[in-house]
Structure 1
């Protein structure tokens, strides 16, 4: 059974805190996806490090939607936005 590693991510950006989980297979990909996500939100000057993006636990991939599973297979992971 395929598993997804969950990286709990808290990032300070000007005026607020972003909270999201990066669902992927490894820390390198988690940091890449986290930085892409933050940049896509308009915060290109902010760099997400392992300090803000930390492995939390693993979940079976089948727990996620078909769209999320497809995104995981296509790009190596996906983001789940959470309330800060």
Structure 2
């Protein structure tokens, strides 16, 4: 499966920067932003600002099995990097 990667940087409640990627099956900027917001709410960061400024398309690539499973179940996969 080919996935689309959205590079995302948001400011957490305590002021630190959270860097994560949103992986989606569709190249759709608005869906990627919605998925980022959904995940942030699930971790208690519901006030974080996410727009096309914070969440940008980066590239497309082939996905490993665990990512495909997550995308098939919830529509997206969050790859946590710095500050998550």
TM-score normalised by the chain length of structure 1:
0.83
Across the two proteins, how many residue pairs are aligned to each other?
80
Q: Structure 1 CA distance, aligned partners of 2:15 and 2:33? A: 22
Matches within 5 A, 1:1-40: 2-13=1-12, 14-24=14-24, 25=26, 26-40=28-42
| Unaligned segments of structure 1, at least 5 residues | none
2:81 is the counterpart of 1:74: no
Deviation of residue 75 (structure 1)? Answer: 1.9
Q: Structure 2 CA distance, aligned partners of 1:76 and 1:42? A: 20
Q: Structure 2 CA distance, aligned partners of 1:15 and 1:51? A: 17
Match of 2:49 among 42, 47, 51: 47
Question: Is the contact between residue 29 and residue 77 of structure 1 (CA under 8 Å) also seen in structure 2?
Answer: no
Offset from partner CA, 1:4-46 (integer Å, 9 cap, x none): 0100000012321100000002212211110012122212122
RMSD: 1.4
| Unaligned segments of structure 2, at least 5 residues | none
